[in-house]
Chain A
Amino acid sequence: MDTNTNCNVNKDQTKSWDKIINSLKDFFGKDIVRYIVKRILMFIPTIFLVSFLVFFVIQLPPGDYVSSEVAKLAGEGEYLSEKEANDLRAEYGIDKPFIVQYGMWIRDIIWTPTDSQYYRINHSHHNWKYSFEQKKNVWTVIEERLGITILISSIIMIFQYAVSIPIAVYSATHQYSAGDYIASIVGFLGAAIPNFVLAFVLMYLSYKWTGNAQVGLETKEGVIGFLKSLVIPIIVIGTSGTCGIIRSVRAQMLDEIGRQYTLTARAKGVKESTIIMKYCFRAAINPTVSGLGGILSSLFSGSTVTAMVLGLQIQGPQLLAALQAQDMYLAGSIVMVQAILVVIGILLSDIVLAFLDPRIRYSGGSR
């Protein structure tokens, strides 16, 4: 009796295990899951490749920080012996060959061992080396502005999409109408006027009307104050990208409206608005979604001049300053962080694309 029930339990258990395994199989057998897993796995080598390139580039300038420091000290009348300089190099770890330095850099980012001197200084297991210029750990420098940069970039991106896509759809469905022409003209103006000029104009207007030129971001007066200070940056940085999105979505929509399947849907008796949204729009949005990574990177690096004019405390100006001061670890790390964000953006856009377009799921998943 006893053994019998035991047996049954065992059977049930194996059954439930089979069930779990089968459902897992089903889940991972799905093309979309396979596609996403594959994309995430591809993400890792991409990041390593990017980091290698970044490290290679920051090593390129002649000399190193120690030699520039020695020269600086010499200027102040202090002389370091060759041995002392070499000791310093050994301490910073920049006396080793390039590939070893790269390995140490990556190792320190992923997991700094307890006996490393960076761990002794920062008491952290993740170290991005040292900003020589600011005499701080690189990550502390980046951290100050990373959050706000990501926040502003995403708000601007959402603004761009939210403004340009409805305009583009309207333009395409009302081709050659007055509204279409106005949208085109405004879009082209937005693209043609240099960002910083627009920034000056808006700051001037803001000063005229409110008595406040709105320089920099307001972080002390709560959410509303912060949003208020965001208005000008969003308009200035946002409008430049808007034109491109309008043009590409409009062209794509027109293309899709002329497709045979639009006619088929119409011949079925489908409502015009359903045709536009269900058939045309979903297909037309495809290239825009895949361009998301590019838009992100242009937001990070393309808005530097505007950010300086507007006094925004984001990463662009920080990177520029680091490059000017030859603070190579800081510059490299900023580029690295931005590259990782862009790659994440591309990953996200790929996943969205897979949901939008079944053909991508299939070609990326099963083969």
Chain B
Amino acid sequence: MDKDNILEVKDLRVNIHMMEGELTAVRGVNFEIKKGETLGLVGESGCGKSLTCKAILAINDKKCEAKGSIKFNSDESGEVEILDLNPKGEEIRSIRGKQISMIFQEPMVAFSPMYTIGNQINECTRLHITKDKKKSKEISMAVMKKVGIANVEKRYNQYPHEFSGGMLQRALIAMALVCNPKMLIADEPTTALDVTIQAQILELMKSLQKDFNTAILFITHDLGVVAKMCDRVAVMYLGKIVESADTETIYANPQHPYTKGLIGSVHKIGGNREDRLFSIEGTVPLAMNLPVQCGFYDRCTVAIDGLCNKAEPELVEIEPGHKVACFACNHEGCKAECERARKEIAEREERERKEAELAAQEAALGKNKKKLFGRRA
């Protein structure tokens, strides 16, 4: 594991056990985050973003099963393989909230209505920093002040229903930051807020990141937010990362048709009013019994028949730090990937043909046998 990296996710797969069968929501995700860096994870609803970040904290539902490797590296605990830990055990609990903490997308339901905001923030410090009640209250109040909650003395003893949405989001951020975590997972932290509050919250997160040198995994489907917040971006589609690069490259030189579509569907200032906003046709298919093909094939405008619908592209590095998984883009790396896929398809078809022949032969034999038996009877 690289020393600069705080988190390395390798070949992460998350299966959901359902009545209808196994749904593979995350299908082999690889990424790493450096210390103090912000990685944006972008994709539309249902592409596996949230499951990925819940897997990092091992707080996924019982029905979900995560496989692969998630390595977390911190000065305090050294290198830890999170998937090996008991999800209810003490070791993972000392990481949650203390070293990796999470901001959830709906602040209105993320707090329990039964306890005061102060109590719930305080709980974090009492668990991880100090058992001393007075001290932990002081720490909590200081952080609340820092995230811009006015009149902390009074606010500390108020209940969630006495807070506005924006204030609750601040409180949620305070709760996530109160133990100075090394890494912060922000799962669409501004989706539930209006635009002005959104901008304030993002500014706040940025300045806090500077203060604490926190690495952030920023999950969103809002490309405007990505441009503002992230150093690097990974675009996810149907449980896989289809393109990753630093933020500028993604906007200036997107390679994957899905990324292009996403960027194209952001409205631009100064654009022609008569133009319709671009949108990607269709919806994400259900990740159950998927055929061997590029996940984006059905919605893609540049798909190559006979290739894209018969093999799945792997991520290839086309220039330093820029990876893409697509057969249809014109780079050396991609062409090599095409060759590999063509070979694979040819091999598979050859194998299938042989199998079919064998099956036909067996069927014929079976018929003969039947004839034999028939005669005997």
Interface residues of chain A, those whose CB is within 8 Å of chain B, are 259-261, 263-272, 278-279, 282-283, 356-359, 362
**Complex partner residue of B112 from A267, A269, A279, A356, CB under 8 angstroms:** A279
Residue in A closest to B95 when the chains form the complex, CB atoms? A269
**Complex partner residue of A269 from B93, B106, B110, B161, CB under 8 angstroms:** B93
Contact check, B111 vs A264: say whether CB atoms are below 8 A apart.
yes
Contact check, A260 vs B127: say whether CB atoms are below 8 A apart.
no
Instruction: State how many angstroms separate the Cβ of B239 from the closest Cβ of chain A.
Output: 21
The complex places the Cα of A356 from the Cα of B113 at a distance, in Å, of: 11
Q: CB-CB < 8 A to A267: which residues of B? A: 57, 59, 96-97, 101-102, 104
Q: CB-CB < 8 A to B111: which residues of A? A: 261, 264
Determine the interface band of chain B, counting residues with CB < 8 A from chain A.
20 to 34
How does the 8 Å CB contact mask read for B175-213 relative to A, with 1 for contact and 0 for none?
100000000000000000000000000000000000000
Instruction: State how many angstroms separate the Cβ of A209 from the closest Cβ of chain B.
Output: 44
How does the 8 Å CB contact mask read for B118-131 relative to A, with 1 for contact and 0 for none?
00000110011000
Contact check, A269 vs B114: say whether CB atoms are below 8 A apart.
no
Q: List 11 A-B contacts (CB under 8 A).
A: A260-B106, A261-B109, A261-B112, A264-B102, A268-B96, A268-B101, A269-B124, A269-B128, A358-B161, A359-B113, A362-B161
Residue in B closest to A280 when the chains form the complex, CB atoms? B112
Contact check, A264 vs B104: say whether CB atoms are below 8 A apart.
yes
Instruction: State how many angstroms separate the Cβ of A353 from the closest Cβ of chain B.
Output: 12
Q: Name the residue among B114, B124, B127, B159 with the largest chain A CB count within 10 angstroms.
A: B114
Contact check, A269 vs B96: say whether CB atoms are below 8 A apart.
yes
Q: CB-CB < 8 A to A356: which residues of B? A: 114
Contact check, B97 vs A269: say whether CB atoms are below 8 A apart.
yes
The complex places the Cα of A269 from the Cα of B161 at a distance, in Å, of: 24
The reply on B98 being an interface residue by CB < 8 A is yes
The complex places the Cα of A269 from the Cα of B127 at a distance, in Å, of: 8
Instruction: State how many angstroms separate the Cβ of B241 from the closest Cβ of chain A.
Output: 23
Q: CB-CB < 8 A to B54: which residues of A? A: 263
Residue in A closest to B99 when the chains form the complex, CB atoms? A269
Q: CB-CB < 8 A to A268: which residues of B? A: 96-97, 101, 123-124, 127, 175
Residue in B closest to A262 when the chains form the complex, CB atoms? B112
Known: A269-B96, A283-B112. 5 other contacts (CB 8 A): A268-B127, A282-B114, A283-B114, A357-B114, A359-B159
Q: CB-CB < 8 A to B175: which residues of A? A: 264, 268
Q: CB-CB < 8 A to B172: which residues of A? A: 264
The reply on B77 being an interface residue by CB < 8 A is no
The reply on B273 being an interface residue by CB < 8 A is no
Q: CB-CB < 8 A to B112: which residues of A? A: 261, 264-265, 279, 283
**Complex partner residue of B104 from A263, A270, A272, A282, CB under 8 angstroms:** A263
Residue in A closest to B101 when the chains form the complex, CB atoms? A267
The reply on B94 being an interface residue by CB < 8 A is yes
Q: CB-CB < 8 A to B124: which residues of A? A: 268-269
Q: CB-CB < 8 A to A271: which residues of B? A: 93
Instruction: State how many angstroms separate the Cβ of B118 from the closest Cβ of chain A.
Output: 13
Q: CB-CB < 8 A to B114: which residues of A? A: 279, 282-283, 356-358
The complex places the Cα of A76 from the Cα of B127 at a distance, in Å, of: 85
Contact check, B128 vs A259: say whether CB atoms are below 8 A apart.
no
Instruction: State how many angstroms separate the Cβ of A258 from the closest Cβ of chain B.
Output: 9
The complex places the Cα of A358 from the Cα of B109 at a distance, in Å, of: 15
Q: CB-CB < 8 A to B97: which residues of A? A: 267-270
The reply on B88 being an interface residue by CB < 8 A is yes
The complex places the Cα of A283 from the Cα of B109 at a distance, in Å, of: 13
Q: CB-CB < 8 A to B161: which residues of A? A: 358-359, 362
Interface residues of chain B, those whose CB is within 8 Å of chain A, are 54, 57, 59, 88, 93-98, 101-102, 104, 106, 109-116, 123-124, 127-128, 159, 161, 172, 175
Q: CB-CB < 8 A to A357: which residues of B? A: 113-114
Instruction: State how many angstroms separate the Cβ of A352 from the closest Cβ of chain B.
Output: 14
Residue in B closest to A256 when the chains form the complex, CB atoms? B112
Q: CB-CB < 8 A to B94: which residues of A? A: 269
> Which 7 pairs, one residue from A and one from B, show the smallest C-beta to C-beta distance?
A269-B97, A269-B96, A268-B97, A260-B109, A261-B112, A269-B93, A267-B102
The complex places the Cα of A356 from the Cα of B128 at a distance, in Å, of: 27
Residue in B closest to A260 when the chains form the complex, CB atoms? B109
The complex places the Cα of A272 from the Cα of B57 at a distance, in Å, of: 14
The complex places the Cα of A283 from the Cα of B104 at a distance, in Å, of: 21
Q: CB-CB < 8 A to B96: which residues of A? A: 266-269
Q: CB-CB < 8 A to B101: which residues of A? A: 267-268
Q: CB-CB < 8 A to B159: which residues of A? A: 358-359, 362
Instruction: State how many angstroms separate the Cβ of A29 from the closest Cβ of chain B.
Output: 14
Residue in B closest to A273 when the chains form the complex, CB atoms? B88
Q: CB-CB < 8 A to B102: which residues of A? A: 264, 267
Instruction: State how many angstroms separate the Cβ of A71 from the closest Cβ of chain B.
Output: 63
The complex places the Cα of A282 from the Cα of B96 at a distance, in Å, of: 24
Q: CB-CB < 8 A to A259: which residues of B? A: 109
Instruction: State how many angstroms separate the Cβ of A180 from the closest Cβ of chain B.
Output: 14
The complex places the Cα of A359 from the Cα of B158 at a distance, in Å, of: 11
Contact check, B88 vs A272: say whether CB atoms are below 8 A apart.
yes
The complex places the Cα of A264 from the Cα of B171 at a distance, in Å, of: 13
The complex places the Cα of A240 from the Cα of B156 at a distance, in Å, of: 45
The complex places the Cα of A244 from the Cα of B91 at a distance, in Å, of: 39
Residue in B closest to A358 when the chains form the complex, CB atoms? B159
Instruction: State how many angstroms separate the Cβ of A66 from the closest Cβ of chain B.
Output: 59
The complex places the Cα of A268 from the Cα of B140 at a distance, in Å, of: 14
Residue in B closest to A279 when the chains form the complex, CB atoms? B112
The complex places the Cα of A270 from the Cα of B159 at a distance, in Å, of: 20
The complex places the Cα of A21 from the Cα of B88 at a distance, in Å, of: 52
The complex places the Cα of A357 from the Cα of B98 at a distance, in Å, of: 29
The complex places the Cα of A260 from the Cα of B104 at a distance, in Å, of: 9
The complex places the Cα of A126 from the Cα of B161 at a distance, in Å, of: 48
Q: CB-CB < 8 A to A260: which residues of B? A: 104, 106, 109-110
The complex places the Cα of A346 from the Cα of B111 at a distance, in Å, of: 29
The complex places the Cα of A260 from the Cα of B97 at a distance, in Å, of: 16
Instruction: State how many angstroms separate the Cβ of A70 from the closest Cβ of chain B.
Output: 64
The complex places the Cα of A106 from the Cα of B39 at a distance, in Å, of: 76
Instruction: State how many angstroms separate the Cβ of A264 from the closest Cβ of chain B.
Output: 5
Contact check, B127 vs A270: say whether CB atoms are below 8 A apart.
yes
Instruction: State how many angstroms separate the Cβ of B236 from the closest Cβ of chain A.
Output: 21
The complex places the Cα of A261 from the Cα of B104 at a distance, in Å, of: 10
The complex places the Cα of A336 from the Cα of B343 at a distance, in Å, of: 89
Instruction: State how many angstroms separate the Cβ of A289 from the closest Cβ of chain B.
Output: 13
Q: CB-CB < 8 A to A279: which residues of B? A: 112, 114
Q: CB-CB < 8 A to A266: which residues of B? A: 57, 59, 96
Q: Name the residue among A266, A267, A362 with the largest chain B CB count within 10 angstroms.
A: A267
Residue in A closest to B159 when the chains form the complex, CB atoms? A358
The complex places the Cα of A264 from the Cα of B124 at a distance, in Å, of: 11
Q: CB-CB < 8 A to A261: which residues of B? A: 109-113
